[in-house]
Structures are given as C-alpha cells and as structure tokens.
Chains A and B, each alone.
Chain A
Amino acid sequence: MASTQTNVDIAAAATVPTGSLLVSLVPLSPEALEATLATLSLAFANQTVLVATPDTAPSLSLGGPLRLLPYTPTAVSDTSWVLTAADYLNAFKLVQENQASACLLLGAESHTLHPEAIRALAAATATSDLAVARYDLGPREGLVNSAILYPVTRALFAARPRFPLAIDLGLSVRMAQRLAADAQRFTASSQNDALIWPVSAAAAANFSISEIDVGTRTFAQPVASDLNSILAQIASSLFTDVDAKASFWQRARSTQTGRSVAPTSPPMEHPADVAPMLDAFQIAYTNLHEIWALVLPPNSLLGLKRLSAMPPASFRMPDSLWARIVYDFILAFRLRTINRGHLLGALTPLYLAWVASHLLLISSGTAPEKHIEDLASVFEADKPYLVSRWRWPDRFNP
C-alpha cells in the first residue's frame, strides 16, 4: 500500500475549484500519511479533491487528483483514537476557507480503509448531511459501543447508525458548521479533547443521516490502558449530551424497522475467558451495594442479587436489566445523586458483567449482532421509563 504511486500536488492547492470535496485528516505519522494519500488517490482517481493535513506534507508528484493542503490547526488535540472537538473545528475552518461543498473527516489509521469505502462515504455526502461509517468488527470488539453507545443513541435519538462515535464521517457544509459550533463550546474552555456526538447532533437538527458499510479497518487504541477512566470519559460525554438534548429526545419517536441479522452464528473456537469479569462483578456486588442502592431502584437491585447468585456457566444479564441500569445511571448523572466520578466508577463492574454475559451468550451460538439488535430494541421499548423518570424523578419507583 505504501509503495503505491501517489498523485498529489501541493503547489496547485490554491487553484482547486470551489465546491470540491475536502478530506480532512487527523495528525498521522509520515508513513501513515503517505499510505493514506495513496488510498485517497485510488479512491478519487477521476476527481479533484483537497486533502488537508496538519502534518508536514510529503514531496510528491504533480498532476494527480489530490491537492494537498498542509495547515496549522486552530485547536490541537492530544487524543488520536477518536475524533475530538479540535478535529471538528479544524475541519469546518478548512471547509469555510476553501469553500468546499462537503467534507470527509477521516480518523487515525485511515490508510487501512478500502478506497471504495472512502468513495462511498464521499458520495453519501451528496444526498445526506451526515454519512457515518459502519465497520465490520469481530464479536469481541467495540464492546462499549455495543453495550451503551449504540442502544442509547438508537433509543433516545431514533437514529440507526451502528457506530455513533465512528471516526470516519462524511459531512455536508451545514453539518460541519453545526458540529464546529458544538466543538467551539469546548475548545473555548480549552477542552480540545472533548468528544462530540455527530449522530445526536444531526438528529436534533433534523438533518439527514446515512450509514455506509466500510468493512474492516484498523483502529488506533486509547493511550491510557485503564478501562475505568476511558469508560468514564466516554459515558460522561454521552450522558452530558443526553442531558443537553433532553428536550429533543423526549419527543423523538423511532419509526424505522430493525435490521435483519442472522439469528445464529457458529460457536467460537476459543471461548472468551469471562472469569476475571465475573470476579470483578462479584467483588463489586459485595462492596458497592450501598452505592448502587443510591442509583438503582429495588427491582434492579433484586436483578443484580439474582445475577450474583448465578453459576458462571449460566451467567446471563437480562437485556431489560441492563437497559434499566443504563437509564438509571443516566438519570443519576443528571440529578448528581452522587459524585459523577463515583457514579461512573460504579458503572464499570456492571458493564463488565454485561460483557461477560454477552460473551457467554455468543459462545453458545447466538449471533453477536442479533443480541445487540435485541438489546437495542429493549432500550427502545423501555424509553418511556427514562422519559417518565426524567420528568418526575421523585415519583415512587419500584
């Protein structure tokens, strides 16, 4: 891939006609940048595309379809594994300065994307305001997305994209502007690493959303290896977004039908070792019960009690219990029932219990996507519970 001829013209960047597509890249290593430019050349062989990169531009041949635009970022982010407020702000400034018609925002490791996938994302911007990538992940990947981000986004915002925090996006100009406005609120207070939720922003603005299947790709992993802090960062950002858009999602109704997925899949060759996760849950159950009791209603606590008594082989967390737990944590986050840091810390063992249950379920032959779609449907069905408790939090709740 890296040896592919890259047709990039830096000097001609200024002569790019207005109204062309702009591809905004996040900071990449020289090798990754070269490989990404090669992929982009393949993707846009017959189209003039402006490629903006904050890195030092490589010296490449003239006369190709790509017009390279090195730039100095307005806001700099230290986070590379996910798109941050700084990335959205920089992308919109570039769109504005170059009068582009649409923007393609590609995350780290974008050279591992297929050229067809990039082309499809770019094409989708002509018909929709937000084109979100849908990735083919293994059954043990993207678990936070499957457990929390996707079901919550789908249930509350009535938006179907499977990866609400996708790192490859196609944006119309007005979508880029809206996301930049959201991002500016964070960058103004020096929070350049803040996460932005494009799907909920598009849903709240009534913009059109499309989902493009991009197949497999390599993902950069968070630098910090601590699950607790990263889960807290992501969940905190999502819950804050849910709080901010409460007036929208309380009215939003899901009208689309669910995806059709295969109900079963071949059993995994190497069943996952769920014992450490179950241990974490058992330790948490004996120690964090008092804290959970401040957040969860008696019915959920009873569900957790039953769960703690289950033998490891038949450990199953009911989807309805997990949906209630997430909704009650969202509510407690809003009401500040306990310190938010403590609240999100208390969520980690429950999330690990869900992961253990999910892995055991899929190892028995249930297709991972089937379980995740079922879970999302349960979240949708239980949405009135959240709406009701959001409006009347003090009402008796069994």
Chain B
Amino acid sequence: MWQQVELALSQSAHRVLFKLASFLPALLALFLAVLVLSAIGAGLSALLHRILTAVKFDERVSRNQVGSVSDWAPSHSPTALVARTAFWACVVLGVFIGISAFDAAYPGESQIALFVIPYLTHSVGAVILLIAGTVIARFLARSVLIGAVNAKLQYARFLSLGVKWLVLVLTAAMVLDHLQIGGVVVELAFGILFGGIVLTLSLAVGLGSRDIVSRSLERSTELVPDPIPGDHESRSPAETLRHF
C-alpha cells in the first residue's frame, strides 16, 4: 500500500513539476512580450513627443481652434495625448502578443487565448468606456453648473450633481454590460436608478422653478420682453446699462 501511495505522490509531483516547467517558459514569453512592446512603446512615445514638439504641434492645434482636442488632452497638450496613446497602444499590443505566445508555448490542451483574448479586449473597451464616461460626466456637470449659475438658478449645484450622476450611472451600466457581469440585474438596477434620478431632478426643478415659470407666464401675457441678465432697461433710460 505504501508503494502505491509513494507512486501516486511521485506521479502527482512529477505532473505538477512538469506542468510548472512547461508553464514557466510560457509565462516568461508573456512577460517578455509585454516588456519588449512596452519598451518599444516608450521609445515610440518619446520619438513622437520630440517630433511633435519640433513641428510645434500644440501651437498648430490651438491656432486651428481645435479646442475640443486640447480640452480632453492630458496636461492639456495634444502632443502628450498622442505620445501617451501610442505608448498605451503598444502596451495593449504587447499583452495580446504575450497571451498568444503564452498560448503557443503552453503545451496544455486548454486554448487559453481563445477565452482570455476576447475578454481582455472587452476589458480594454470597458476601461476606455469608464474613462470617457468619467470625463464626460465631469465636463457636463461643470457646463450645467456654470450655465445654471449664470442663469441665476438657486439649485445650480443640485442640477449639476444630478447630471453628473446620470452620466456616471449610465457609464457604470455600460461598463458592466460590456464585461457581461450582472446580466439582467444590471439592466434593471440601471433602469430604476436612471429613472429615479430623472424623476428627482424633474420634481426638484419643477418645484424650484414655480416662481420663475409663473413670472415668465405673467411677463408673456403682458408682452414685456425678457430682460438681459445684467442689463436693466427698466424704469428709466438713465438706468440703462450697456456692457459693450
């Protein structure tokens, strides 16, 4: 019996060591691919940065009024945006090549790449969605806040927060859906949350704007034009303000 136990142990140890021995080169191939491509990415990024700085890419972009590009760019520099995009593209490419190399070097029959690569692609997409959603949420929240403040709405901050969370909830639902996590639960939760936020905002704006709406209706019935914010052409011509 002890012989059988010894045999079973030695065979299992042999199998584990064999698998480890065949797994390590595959893992090494994966790391090597990621490292090499990251190094290539860093070199490419530095080269692009130098070339674009030499041709004054930032100045050209700002002169051509492509404000939207500059506003999204890291450090507010289109050159940095291009360089970093190139670097991360190389890193992602390295991960893909590494997984393929891992799959090729690993002698097992389970085709890991077949499962991992599509999921990794989805993960990259999800990360991009998350970043884009966060940036858009912040941008829209600020736009709404400033617009509402300049329209002299007392609940400007509340409105801005509502818009921000609407976009964030939408982004979170999209990310989870993209990663195929949660399934129907996410859709239901998203519907409830999104609807809830919209309803809350509608009620808040509706109740908060009662006075504004009634004043506006009174004004329209009296056919008096809306005053310009800051411009007062009321009582007498002597009180007229002209900003320009």
Contact = CB atoms under 8 A, between A and B. Distances in A.
User: Are A and B interaction partners?
Assistant: yes
A335 interface: yes
17 contacts: A140-B242, A142-B243, A189-B64, A191-B65, A219-B242, A226-B228, A227-B228, A269-B238, A273-B234, A287-B149, A288-B149, A291-B145, A291-B146, A336-B70, A336-B76, A338-B142, A355-B230
Interface in B67-87: 67, 70-71, 76
B232 A272 contact: yes
B139 A283 contact: no
Given A342-B146, A345-B150, A276 B244 contact: no
B152 A288 contact: no
Most buried by A among B70, B152, B241: B241
B156 interface: yes
Interface residues of B, number: 37
Interface of A: 81-82, 138, 140-145, 185, 189, 191, 219, 221-222, 225-228, 230-231, 234, 268-270, 272-273, 276-277, 279-280, 283-284, 286-288, 291, 335-342, 345-346, 348-349, 352, 355
Contacts of A338: 142
Given A143-B243, A336-B70, A270 B238 contact: yes
A283 B229 CA distance: 14
Nearest to B155: A287
Interface in B190-241: 228-232, 234-236, 238-241
A219 B150 CA distance: 26
Given A273-B239, A339-B142, 9 more contacts: A140-B240, A140-B241, A145-B244, A225-B228, A270-B239, A283-B152, A291-B146, A341-B67, A355-B241
Interface in B128-157: 139, 142-143, 145-150, 152-154, 156-157
Contacts of B243: 142-144, 227, 230-231, 355
Nearest to A336: B76
Nearest to B145: A287
Contacts of B76: 335-337
B156 A227 contact: no
A204 B170 CA distance: 51
B70 to A, nearest CB: 6
Nearest to A149: B244
A189 B71 CA distance: 20
Query: Considering the complex of A and B, which 6 residue pairs feature the smallest CB-CB distances, nearest first?
Result: A336-B76, A345-B146, A141-B242, A270-B238, A225-B228, A287-B156
B230 A277 contact: yes
A345 B160 CA distance: 15
A346 B146 contact: yes
A348 B243 CA distance: 12
B154 A227 contact: no
- What is the predominant secondary structure among interface residues of chain A facing chain B? helix
A141 B233 CA distance: 13
A153 to B, nearest CB: 16
A342 to B, nearest CB: 5
B244 A142 contact: yes
Given A230-B244, A283-B156, A270 B230 contact: no
Nearest to B157: A287
B149 A283 contact: yes
A64 to B, nearest CB: 35
Interface of B: 63-65, 67, 70-71, 76, 139, 142-143, 145-150, 152-154, 156-157, 160, 228-232, 234-236, 238-244
B219 to A, nearest CB: 15
A308 B242 CA distance: 24
Given A222-B244, A336-B70, A280 B229 contact: yes
A335 B229 CA distance: 29
Nearest to B147: A345
B231 A288 contact: no
A270 B236 contact: yes
Given A269-B238, A336-B71, A280 B152 contact: yes
A288 B146 contact: yes
Contacts of B157: 286-287
Contacts of B241: 140, 143, 272, 355
Contacts of A81: 244
Contacts of B70: 336
Nearest to B72: A339
A341 B148 CA distance: 14
A221 B242 contact: yes
A143 B242 contact: yes
A310 B41 CA distance: 57
Contacts of B65: 189, 191
B161 to A, nearest CB: 11
B146 A144 contact: no
Contacts of A286: 157
A239 to B, nearest CB: 12
A276 B146 contact: no
A286 B235 CA distance: 30
Nearest to B63: A185
Contacts of A189: 64-65
A89 B190 CA distance: 56
A98 B46 CA distance: 53
A288 B70 CA distance: 23
A354 to B, nearest CB: 11
Contacts of B230: 227, 276-277, 280, 352, 355
Contacts of A276: 152, 229-230, 232
Nearest to A185: B63
A222 B228 CA distance: 12
Contacts of B154: 283
